[in-house]
Amino acid sequence: MPRNAHIVTIGIDLGKNTFHVVGFDATGAIILRKKRSRNQLEQSLANVPLCLIGMEACAGAHHLGRKLEKLGHQVRLLPAQYVKPYLKGHKNDFRDAEAIAEAAQRPTMRFVPLKSAEQLDLQALHRVRSRLVTQRTAVINQIRGLLLERGLPVRQGAAALRLALPQILSMLSDNLSPRVVRLIQDLAEDWRFLERRVASITKEIDELADQDPHCRRLMSAPGVGPIISSAMIAAIGTGDAFHKGRDFAAWLGLVPKQISTGDRTIVGRISRRGNRYLRTLFIQEARAVLLRRQSWPRHGFGAWLEAASKRLHSNVLVVALAAKLARLAWSMLAKGRDYDANFMGHAA
């Protein structure tokens, strides 16, 4: 580093064990270019004058970002897709760090807020629960497939299979060999184990949601329960990263993809960007609201829903309602309001 140079911006390309660091001075010249191990990184940055540090929002970024903020640095996390346009030449780790530092300085760049340790804990619960639910569904489908291959169809749904399975396995049938019966019994035991795990984590999420004031506020909205409210808090905190509800709905991927050129605007299907898990939860919430038609007049958006149900295809209506519910949820969270049908009907 030159004697009179002063680091203004640092970009860090994160890795599991090694980190590539590039630093700029006030003129944009590179005056720092180092490779650091995980143990060396924090110590080396503690000796650097306070500056802006940019990192991609990936695994470990939030933990490291909180540590660097404690040292006094200004930390900005960037979505990886927003860093790519600043990459010059062939990709390598130092060029990635340089592109991160470039992007972190842009005044119009969108940044990812640092997650607290509590948010990461809640996010971990949701990710583990989601994996267990997927595994449970796979086990149920495998049991159903094995029975169907032997001419024993079971009505659709986990509850129907749960009721029919003991009777099927107890029957003396030429269709099921002892080996297959044993395999299905083992799969049924896997199913019961996964059910217990899912129930245990769901109970923990419910307890955390009941204790959190933001979750309780969100749960006053139609169709919102502990799962969706806690998932939203884990993903966006209090929603400060978004200027309005439509920005949040767009981040979820619930708004149409738009391609405009000249005076021509083409609007396509939903973009499906952002948090897929949270988007799925909002769509499930919308389906739950649509099933309870008798409750529509009590909602602030009841009149809109009645009119939209007459002109939109059912699947389009689900997505449109999910986008509206996402905007309502953000408004409640960002403005600190409980659900009020009279007020929210205009705020959305």
Which residues span the domain enclosing 229? 213-347
Does residue 100 share a domain with residue 62?
A: yes
Helix (H) or strand (E) holding 28: none
In a domain, 110, yes or no: no
CATH, residue 27: 3.30.420.10
Domain boundary (196, 211, 226) is at 211
In a domain, 146, yes or no: yes
In a domain, 185, yes or no: yes
Q: Which tens digits make up the pLDDT trace of 259-279?
A: 887 778 877 788 888 889 999
Does residue 202 share a domain with residue 91?
A: no
The arithmetic mean of pLDDT across residues 216-236, rounded, is 93
CB-CB contact of 300 with 344 (8 Å): yes
In a domain, 1, yes or no: no
pLDDT of residue 347: 47
CB-CB contact of 61 with 55 (8 Å): yes
Does residue 274 share a domain with residue 217?
A: yes
Domain boundary (57, 75, 104) is at 104
pLDDT of residue 205: 96
Q: Which tens digits make up the pLDDT trace of 298-347?
A: 888 888 999 999 999 999 999 999 999 999 999 999 988 888 877 655 54
Does residue 202 share a domain with residue 87?
A: no
Does residue 322 share a domain with residue 218?
A: yes
**Separation of alpha carbons 80 and 17, rounded Å:** 19
Q: Which tens digits make up the pLDDT trace of 75-106?
A: 999 999 999 999 988 889 999 999 999 999 99
The count of structural domains within the chain is 3
pTM of the model: 0.87
Domain boundary (157, 182, 211) is at 211
**Separation of alpha carbons 297 and 286, rounded Å:** 15
Mean pLDDT taken over the chain = 90
